[in-house]
Structure 1
Amino acid sequence: MGKFEKDAKDLLEAIGGKENVTAVSHCATRMRFVLGDDKKAKVKAIEAIPAVKGTFTNAGQFQVIIGNDVPIFFNDFVAVSGIEGVSKEAAKSAAKSHQNPVQRVMTTLAEIFTPIIPALIVGGLILGFRNVLEGVQIQALGQKMIDGVAQFAKDGEPIYNTIVDVSKFWSNVNDFLWLPAQAVFHFLPVGITWSIARKMGTSQILGIVLGICLVSPNLLNAYDVATTSKEIIAEQYTWYFGPLEFHKFGYQGQVIPALLAGLSLSYLEIFWRKRIPEVISMIFVPLLSLVPALILAHTILGPFGWWVGQGLSKVVFAGLTGSFKWLFGAVFGALYAPFVITGLHHMTNAIDTQLANDYGGTALWPMIALSNIAQGSAVLAYYFMKRKNEKEAQISLPAAVSAYLGVTEPALFGVNVKYTYPLIAGMIGSSIAGILSLTFNITATGIGVGGLPAILSIQAKYWLPFILVMLVAIAVPMFLTFFFHKTGFLTKTEEDPELQAEFAAQEEAEFSAPAEEAAAQEVSVLSPLAGEVKELSQAADPVFAQGVMGQGVVIIPSEGELVSPVDGKVTVLFPTMHAVGIQSDQGAEILMHIGMDTVNLEGKGFEGHVAQGDRVKAGDKLISFDMKAIKKAGYVTETPVIITNQDQYQTEPVGELPRVVERGSQLMTAKPL
């Protein structure tokens, strides 16, 4: 019996049974369901399951929060349900059928920008630090002199030295830090085209090459276009193809041109993959994908994207600086937290980046940071009210700290959405802060760390007003949270004994002491297949390649026979016979998945030789499969062999990879953590 078998059965029943599940996958902490009818899911019953820590719906997916044990839970769920899990990308694709066109666009943008957010954050922090070094005039450092002449501003005020003006050391530090800052923002199109290829499951190196072609030094830098004369552009930066003329413009820092170019490349590659025979695909698919995408990028998509990007940034900039900017600040400040709840907040990264590139700064990012602070302050007030309740304190205090550091999901899902009135208090405080932020014209250099550290990305001359507005974003939500609780406003959820009992059951698994388990033992895993073994990161499916399901290797089989790699018990055997799970006698849980998306064959070409629950010895035949039939149907036969209970084991492949292995030869060692 699997660790979560009972909970998995209860969850299957509560979501409406097998027939209501269109697709299921999992991420680092959550089960992700695409349901035929969301109304059939019994949320209260699901959240009462001990292993479940919460639920919410986002981007067309019904998500069930499990925690770090989600890979184990997922395996038990697919075993008891007979439902094949799919990759996260496949689940997202199925979920899009539940979304309207606008939601699909927003979801796609979020998926593209999420992987590059760490780079944007570090770039924003570096720009913020450089802004202090070169942008803050310090009177104590003396008046700035050029060739012995004191410098004055247009209004007659003296210009004082900055740190880089008087310190050679900090001047060199400032110059050195321009390297990563430029890499992040000037070469942003490379990151975008790579992320698109990654999301679409196409060749990531082609995405990188296309991105480099958009920012090549042979092109006129996007930042220099406005100051370059038409004569020089015509002479040095124009291609002439007979009657056709195209400018050699680079797209440094441009978001929409990179998005359009990257999508064109991926769709071209997908198109040619389906039509070019595999034997010559390595030659013609990259060629017929990259070259047309590059032509489109520099003739149609790039110029169009530049025009759209500048137009979008001008519209938002007008809202941020126009006569009714107070209204824009009020609405955006109030709605940013709901954007986070729905997952739509990532789309603002594209607008922020475009504003920073077009206008030298963004007034949108300060309001985002203030919203994080406001939601964290509401949770902090809730903590002070509930600090004597150990469970509530354990949730609310860390959630408040996380929000102050820029990550609001724990605060939103752990407290504010659950009890509603802290969420409303935070939205009101954020709305007021948004009005004040635009009133004081507070501007950030670029995207940075949200919450309190956001001050590092704020342009130096706005530090004082930003600090004052931060105090508002802290004080107002805290006061309103106390006030709403005192007056009973929207506190029904908090005071309802039945709902409190459900929340208690939901959180029991998180705060109860973990059950003692038998100590894991080292296990030697033999190769279940003959063929070529490679690193798991080279698997075609990103869920396996990224190690989400577990750690191990991937094998390209040369024969269609899968045997047991260990002595143990068959814990998972899919009805389609394309995947099998075994728990070794030492405790390692091993999953072998023959091919990618081969569940679609519905068992054709597969023959099972064991049943779920059988005892097996290393070398016992498990599954036979027809490699030719699988390839003819358009699927690969590569087989990941992974240890799914990676919280207990660390895997070490035997020998250097890639290498050829025989069935029954040493494959890898699983060592207890």
Structure 2
Amino acid sequence: MDYSTTAAAVLKGVGGEGNVSSLVHCATRLRFVVKDESKIDKAAVKASPGVIATAEAGGQYQVVIGNEVPEVFAEIAKISKLAGPAANVKATDGPKGNLLNRFIAMISAIFTPLLWALAGTGLLKAFLAAAVTFGWLDNTTTTYTILNALSDAFINFLPLALAITAAKYFKAEQFTSLAIAGAFVYPSIVALNGVPDITFFGIPVTMVSYVSSVIPIIVIVWLQSHAERVLYAKLPSAIRRFVTPMLLVLILVPLTFLVIGPLSNLISGGLAGGIGWIFTAVPWLGGAIMGGLWQVFVIFGLHWGFVPLMTAELQTGGLIYLVAPLFAAVLAQAAAVTGVWVRTKDKNLKSLAAPAALSGFLAGVTEPAIYGVNLPLKRPFVFGVIGGVLGGGLISAGGIAANAFVLPSGLAIPALLSQGSIVMLFLGLAVAIIVPFLLTVIVGFKDPVAETAAPVESRDLQVLSPLDGTAVPLTAVPDAVFAGGSLGKGVAVIPRIGALYAPFDAVVAAAFPTGHAIGLKHADGAEVLIHIGIDTVKLGGKHFTVKVEKGQQVAAGDLLVEFDIPAITAAGYDITTPIIVTNTKRYPAIGSATTGPVAHGDALFLAIAEEELAIA
């Protein structure tokens, strides 16, 4: 994947930076909150290179990229202010949606940055627990102590991490939030848990454990964000910077200990107890529901609502029953796409199904399988749901629970080995894999095999004239480097009007401060350099006015540079302007080159992609 091309195409498709209120990403998706949905070119976004699918859920426009979403997110940060350190993850001027959508958006924004650290340390803890279970490691050794600290520290101090992300979401001061969260997990405070007769200025305090807690810090940071605005407005400017955090810590931490903590502990305990009751009284039913519906929840973005429930389970009982049947849901979809790979005769579908299966089995990332294969084919997705229902029911019937917060995948199975029946676990996993695989292979699906070779989507680029003037062959340029084609192939124009326009929709890849040259990049990957005049860099920007900047999205016909032709020629410079395609490996040839009088916007030449030459 060309990350920069994908980033530019997606950003343009959602209506540009100006139409985006906020942007975050999760494990596989870019999650946009837009201001005006009518400005989204949904067909263009779906057609962008590297995009697997799109979805609209939880008040967000979601673009499914797959495992490489962080790289695309980083490229968007380079060409906009949406994804950088100063990006605002909370939508302040976009559509609010209903209460459920707003809750899902909040949980997604707060937990998304923590996801991989939680999953990675949780996986380490799972492997460590498995090593102890199988007798490979003695849990009384200092080696175990060190490894346990490495795997347990992040979830233990989760309130500190949530303080940062919640502060960013609610627009609160992050370090004040950290100071509050730090009090929650301070050693002497932790030691008070369970101690009788605790008072604060004579007021009885029911101390609960804030280790690994979620609800108290999110609630208190929300209160902090509102209190800060009031204090900043009321306190004198000379003292508000240090008095505000002092007052907030002094008021909000005791408020948590006296009210919010015990109340949230009651809520968490109730939720965890309710989940525990379901998975104790009718475990197979809970497992079947979670195993069957989990991927549906993922499609609609509703799965984020379960994250607080999972952390509440872990904090209360040290186990997560909700996670166990999800392994069946994930592996069932991976098995279904494997069945597609075995049965299909379509080479393109095989090439998509194979890596999708590997991603699902090993990493638990099923978006490539679901959106790229199973959902479009319909039956494999249904077969995967059936496998999830059966496997999830068996796993939960065996009393299986995860001992750490992990992303369900083949690599994370050790997290399930410390609780419940190992036999039922592997029986459930086997059923979840075998049933959808066999159904897909035997019952089948409508195989999109074309009797004749499917036409290849053209990547050729029509380059329009960026100038009003006279088009001449590149060999006519009075410069050996350009004329010889060393920098690329193209056409030159001798301009008669000092205005340079965009020859196609593009991102400005380079805007030289001297104004003598502009580099453009098309969404399909073509890179074009327009060099106004020969050796005009020596003018140092004199007689040139640049109208765009690097990273800016431009449309065909947009004004890029204005320049003074009489002044440039009077200074002794040739004004002949080469327009060349510089990435010759992808675009090794040009065609339909124009010569003679041209106006800006007229067809100038066709940049021919490598695959088109191969077909020819």
Q: Which amino acid aligns with 1:240?
A: F
Q: State how far apart, in whole Å, the 2-side matches of 1:432 and 1:403 are.
A: 18
Report the equivalent of 2:374: 416
> Which of 201, 205, 220 is residue 175 of structure 2 equivalent to?
205
Q: State how far apart, in whole Å, the 1-side matches of 2:137 and 2:280 are.
A: 31
Report the equivalent of 2:118: 120
Report the equivalent of 1:428: 386
Note the alpha carbon deviations across 1:171-221, whole angstroms, 9 max, x for none.
Answer: 332122222234123322222222212333433222222211001111244
User: Cα offset for 1:570?
Assistant: 7.1
Paired residue secondary structure (1:199): helix
Q: State how far apart, in whole Å, the 2-side matches of 1:30 and 1:362 are.
A: 28
Note the alpha carbon deviations across 1:634-663, whole angstroms, 9 max, x for none.
Answer: xxxxxxxxxxxxxxxxxxxxxxxxxxxxxx
Report the equivalent of 2:574: none
Report the equivalent of 1:62: 61
Q: State how far apart, in whole Å, the 2-side matches of 1:259 and 1:517 are.
A: 59
Q: State how far apart, in whole Å, the 1-side matches of 2:326 and 2:432 are.
A: 11
Matches for 1:19-418 after TM superposition, within 5 Å: 21=19, 23=21, 30=30, 32=32, 34=34, 36-37=36-37, 43-44=42-43, 47-48=46-47, 54-64=53-63, 93=91, 97-136=95-134, 163-164=137-138, 171-221=141-191, 225=194, 232-234=195-197, 238-242=198-202, 244-273=203-232, 280-322=239-281, 324-386=282-344, 389-404=346-361, 405-418=363-376
Q: State how far apart, in whole Å, the 2-side matches of 1:341 and 1:127 are.
A: 29
Q: Which amino acid aligns with 1:233?
A: P
Q: State how far apart, in whole Å, the 2-side matches of 1:583 and 1:25 are.
A: 35
User: Cα offset for 1:430?
Assistant: 0.6
Contact 1:379 1:416 in 2 (8 A): yes
Q: Cα distance 1:102–1:183, how it changes in 2: closer, same or farther (>3 A)? A: same
Q: Check if 1:473 corresponds to 2:432.
A: yes
Q: Cα distance 1:24–1:178, how it changes in 2: closer, same or farther (>3 A)? A: closer
Paired residue secondary structure (1:93): coil
User: Cα offset for 1:275?
Assistant: 5.4
Q: State how far apart, in whole Å, the 2-side matches of 1:106 and 1:120 are.
A: 19
Contact 2:346 2:450 in 1 (8 A): no
Note the alpha carbon deviations across 1:415-472, whole angstroms, 9 max, x for none.
Answer: 2233322221111111111110111111221222421112211133644432222111
Q: Which amino acid aligns with 1:454?
A: A
Q: Cα distance 1:481–1:85, how it changes in 2: closer, same or farther (>3 A)? A: same
Note the alpha carbon deviations across 1:52-76, whole angstroms, 9 max, x for none.
Answer: 6543223323345687677878999
Q: State how far apart, in whole Å, the 1-side matches of 2:378 and 2:487 are.
A: 42
Q: State how far apart, in whole Å, the 1-side matches of 2:486 and 2:227 are.
A: 51
Contact 1:20 1:37 in 2 (8 A): no
Report the equivalent of 2:412: 454
Q: State how far apart, in whole Å, the 2-side matches of 1:466 and 1:374 are.
A: 14
Q: How many residues align?
A: 478
Percent identity (aligned): 23
Q: State how far apart, in whole Å, the 1-side matches of 2:124 and 2:77 are.
A: 40
Contact 1:258 1:302 in 2 (8 A): no
Contact 2:314 2:320 in 1 (8 A): yes
Q: Cα distance 1:440–1:251, how it changes in 2: closer, same or farther (>3 A)? A: same
Contact 2:185 2:210 in 1 (8 A): yes
Instruction: Output the TM-score relative to the length of structure 1.
Output: 0.60
Contact 1:96 1:104 in 2 (8 A): no
User: Cα offset for 1:120?
Assistant: 2.2
Note the alpha carbon deviations across 1:79-118, whole angstroms, 9 max, x for none.
Answer: xxxxx97989657515862521012112211221222223
Q: Cα distance 1:334–1:566, how it changes in 2: closer, same or farther (>3 A)? A: farther
Q: Which amino acid aligns with 2:170?
A: M
Q: Cα distance 1:96–1:11, how it changes in 2: closer, same or farther (>3 A)? A: closer
Instruction: Output the TM-score relative to the length of structure 2.
Output: 0.65
Q: State how far apart, in whole Å, the 1-side matches of 2:233 and 2:109 are.
A: 24
Q: State how far apart, in whole Å, the 2-side matches of 1:382 and 1:92 are.
A: 40
User: Cα offset for 1:35?
Assistant: 5.5
**For structure 2, which runs of at least 5 residues remain unmatched after alignment?**
460-484, 489-506, 521-529, 538-547, 553-557, 565-616
Q: Cα distance 1:284–1:220, how it changes in 2: closer, same or farther (>3 A)? A: closer
Range that drifts further, 19-28 or 109-118: 19-28
Larger Rg: 2
Contact 2:34 2:95 in 1 (8 A): no
Report the equivalent of 1:442: 400
Q: State how far apart, in whole Å, the 1-side matches of 2:257 and 2:440 are.
A: 53
Q: Cα distance 1:184–1:372, how it changes in 2: closer, same or farther (>3 A)? A: same
Q: Cα distance 1:268–1:407, how it changes in 2: closer, same or farther (>3 A)? A: farther
Q: Which amino acid aligns with 1:56?
A: A
> Which of 561, 568, 572 is residue 613 of structure 1 equivalent to?
561
Q: Cα distance 1:211–1:611, how it changes in 2: closer, same or farther (>3 A)? A: same
**For structure 1, which runs of at least 5 residues remain unmatched after alignment?**
79-83, 139-161, 226-231, 510-515, 520-548, 552-562, 573-581, 594-609, 617-673
